[in-house]
Structure 1
Amino acid sequence: MPSVLLYVAIAALVLYRVVYQQVRGTLLSRRRLTVLPLVLTVVGAYLTLKALPGAPAGELGLLAADLLVLAGLGVLRSTTTTLTERDGTTFQKGSAVTIGLWVLTVAVRIGLLALGTALGVAGPLTSASVALSLGVTIAVQNATTYRRIQRRGLPLAAGRRTAVSR
């Protein structure tokens, strides 16, 4: 039961901090681009490593495919956001395509779980790696966004910034 609560909490955090704020619009900072994906990846790596012993090769392959596909979707999601300068930092706003790619991200994760179940290889590792998968896809999206910010010469604040509704 505690793992279900953890997954619900992670999903709620990601929905608000990432999806909702991207679509609404967010003033970016280095902190905003790094903290959430770092926390998710570290927690996810810990849970994944705990579930790793005894995981069959098929489940390891499923995890590798999951991470690769979700990383690619992170790159795509970044390219669907607009970046402009506002209030001394970069303002990021997502689009309908960004929402669609988030839906696809969730669908891919669920689809890989269903595939693993159908093949008889989904086990504790598949469940334990949810936070890792989310952390990786958000980290890749944010790294791509950071690269876009640098290429365009946009400013990026060092401290905490809040979402805006403009």
Structure 2
Amino acid sequence: MPSAQNVLLYAAIAGLVLYKVVYQQVRGTLLNRRTLFAMPLLLTVVGGYLTLKALSGASAAELGLLAVDLLVLAGLGVLRSTTTTLTERDGTTFQKGSAVTIGLWGLTVAVRIGVVALGTALGITGPLTSASIALSLGLSIAVQNATTYRRIQRRGLPLADRRPALSR
């Protein structure tokens, strides 16, 4: 059972991801290198730290469940990227998600919950499953953003080093 401190951390991570990633993708956002790499890097580092702390008590079954979780969520990251439109705006690339993007985010959350439920049903209930939430989300977003970055480069779209000023 996660501690109250961990529950607060997970709630903060969820809120940050919902706003910084999902909401901004739905309404559309100007991209730059920082917006593509900062959030997944932060989540992956925090998640990696929490996951490493939980590794010492992890069973082989937990490690296998984590591997499946990471692979599936990485695949969903690739799919989410392909559902966004990329256009040039204000000297950089503008990304806007679609209804399918929202659906894939819902599926991402459902898969993560499903992995926890599957683990519980199979008696795999060690601390690694909850400790790896930030890592799995960070990796999924990192794969999505790396795929988006590759799409930007293939299409020859600009990518500003800093967030450009919006002209209105």
Matches within 5 A, 1:141-160: 141-160=144-163
The alignment's TM-score, normalised by the length of structure 1, stands at 0.96
Partner residue in 2 for 1:69? 72
CA separation in 2, counterparts of 1:162 and 1:8? 32
CA separation in 2, counterparts of 1:57 and 1:154? 44
* 1:104 paired to 2:107: yes
Partner residue in 2 for 1:11? 14
C-alpha deviation, 1:36, in angstroms? 0.4
CA separation in 2, counterparts of 1:115 and 1:70? 15
Greater shift, 5-14 or 155-164, is seen at 155-164
Checking the alignment, whether the CA contact within 8 Å between 2:90 and 2:166 is kept in structure 1 is no
With over 3 angstroms needed to count, the CA separation of the structure-2 counterparts of 1:151 and 1:25, relative to structure 1, is same
CA separation in 1, counterparts of 2:119 and 2:49? 22
Checking the alignment, whether the CA contact within 8 Å between 1:90 and 1:155 is kept in structure 2 is yes
With over 3 angstroms needed to count, the CA separation of the structure-2 counterparts of 1:59 and 1:156, relative to structure 1, is same
The alignment's TM-score, normalised by the length of structure 2, stands at 0.95
Partner residue in 2 for 1:95? 98
* 1:23 paired to 2:26: yes
Q: Structure 1: which 4+ aligned runs deviate by more than 6 Å?
A: none
C-alpha deviation, 1:61, in angstroms? 0.3
Partner residue in 2 for 1:46? 49
Greater shift, 123-132 or 154-163, is seen at 154-163
Q: Deviations over 1:118-145 (max 9, x none)?
A: 0011210000000000100000000000
Unaligned runs of 5+ in 1: none
CA separation in 1, counterparts of 2:15 and 2:110? 17
* 1:120 paired to 2:123: yes
**What is the root-mean-square deviation in Å for CA atoms of aligned residues?**
1.6
- SS of residue in 1 equivalent to 2:93: strand
Aligned residues: percent identity?
Answer: 81
C-alpha deviation, 1:54, in angstroms? 2.1
CA separation in 2, counterparts of 1:57 and 1:134? 22
Partner residue in 2 for 1:36? 39
Aligned letter for 1:8? A
C-alpha deviation, 1:159, in angstroms? 1.1
* 1:131 paired to 2:128: no
- SS of residue in 1 equivalent to 2:94: strand
Q: What is the number of equivalent residue pairs in this alignment?
A: 165
